[in-house]
Amino acid sequence: MTNRRVVVTGIGAISPVGNDAETGWKNIIEGKSGIGPLTRLNAEEFPVKVAAEIKDFDIETYINRKEARKMDRFTHYAIAASVMAYNDSKLEITDENAARVGVWIGSGIGGLETLETQHENFLNRGYKRVSPFFVPMMIPDMAAGQVSILLGAKGINSCTVTACATGTNSIGDAFKAIQRGDADVMITGGAEAPITKMSVAGFCANTALSTNPDPQTASRPFDLNRDGFVIGEGAGIIVLEDLEHALNRGAKIYAEIAGYGSTGDAFHITAPAPGGEGGARAMKIAIEDAGLNPEDIQYVNAHGTSTPYNDKYETMAVKEVFGDHANKLAISSTKSMTGHMLGAAGGVEAIFTIQAIRDSILPPTINIETPDPECDLDYVPNQARKGEINAAISNSLGFGGHNATILFKKYQ
């Protein structure tokens, strides 16, 4: 049996650069950062002063207040992005097709905000003051669960939890489910709301976050003076569809998803493997899975966190995979503008990669002022530029040694 072709027919995003996919993309290609002062928490309590927060978001645009109160913020973001992607796809879920439409939405840390507030209730007022919705609000799979309930999708319902690789692994896993015939449509991506006291405290304690107090320059992937990532939040969701199914209903097709690679470093809980060897293998697998050669790729949406080791090792991994072609690749880290959305990053960055293919625009990496001699490739510094893209990859690398790469190509 030949594998089925899979295409993207809907996109939806809530991100620090915009509360819908097209606003976010417009700001990305204009080089506008969504990073600002840390307002969700008391910044006086932390060495970190900036964050990439969601602004002017109202969940009641999508569901009623009573239902919203039974959900953590990461689920709110997932619902909003999923509804936008579903509406964009013009798909109709009916009694006839519901069992063939699945949901695969991941979250790196799930409802940590709920855990913190309910734990305080328990300590201060006893178990009877803990919300009866505490557990279903907190668990990471609840974004997928609530989206399936809201939209009536009765197919595969799953959740990947692979730290910062979550969104990309989720999309890759959903792609494979359609490819092998287990579903016709998958609503997939990642969601995260990690700007909480304990999350920020934990990342501060392991010195992963930038302590640069200037919101405009704190996230600076591949720059010599980078000093850590900026924590972000949001959700990125796409609708994947069997090509024949999409054609039969006259769907708009953004791009084709053609390859997926997933590997483990087996090295360290937080540090990437030397030389980025695990990430290199993920890229190779994705390119082979798509039946392409490295020189067929024009663009890489890098994981590019703005941490010293990640950016250096990801650069080494790209050189390992692409050889001489690495110097002809356009590479960018859109995290320079969105911050790092952890489990949502791969979902939002998949959308940016799809939009780059659609519009033949290479998004920039902003804040490259002093290039790192060890990061010496073309990171599309500071300004977007035109560029034909027939095939592109998006990388995500997570704590625990999780590496994931997905490959999109122009639909033909």
Contact residues for 179 (Cβ-Cβ < 8 A; gap 6+): 3, 4, 6
User: In this structure, what are the phi and psi dihedrals at residue 74, rounded to the nearest 5 degrees?
Assistant: -65, -35
Classify 178 as helix, strand or coil.
helix
CA atoms within 13 A on the CB side of 248: 8
Specify the amino acid at residue 351.
Answer: I
**Distance (Å) of CA 265 to CA 98, 400, 404:** 38, 8, 11
Specify the amino acid at residue 153.
Answer: A
- Answer yes or no: are the C-beta atoms of 309 and 271 closer than 8 Å: yes
* Strand 391-398, strand 299-301: pairing: parallel
- Answer yes or no: are the C-beta atoms of 375 and 225 closer than 8 Å: no
Q: Burial code of 209-242, b = ≥16 C-beta within 10 A, e = fewer? A: bbebeebebbbbbbbeebebbbbbbbbbbbbbbb
CA 54 to CA 267: how far, in whole Å?
34
Lookup result for tokens 């953004």? 254
Choose, from 159, 164, 204, 375, the residue flagged as catalytic: 164
Residues 304, 383, 8, 322: is their CA dihedral positive or negative?
A: negative
Does the active-site annotation cover 159? no
Structure tokens at 224: 């010599």
> What DSSP string describes 289-322?
HTT--GGG--EEE----S-HHHHHHHHHHHHHHH
Contact residues for 250 (Cβ-Cβ < 8 A; gap 6+): none
Active-site residues: which are they? 164
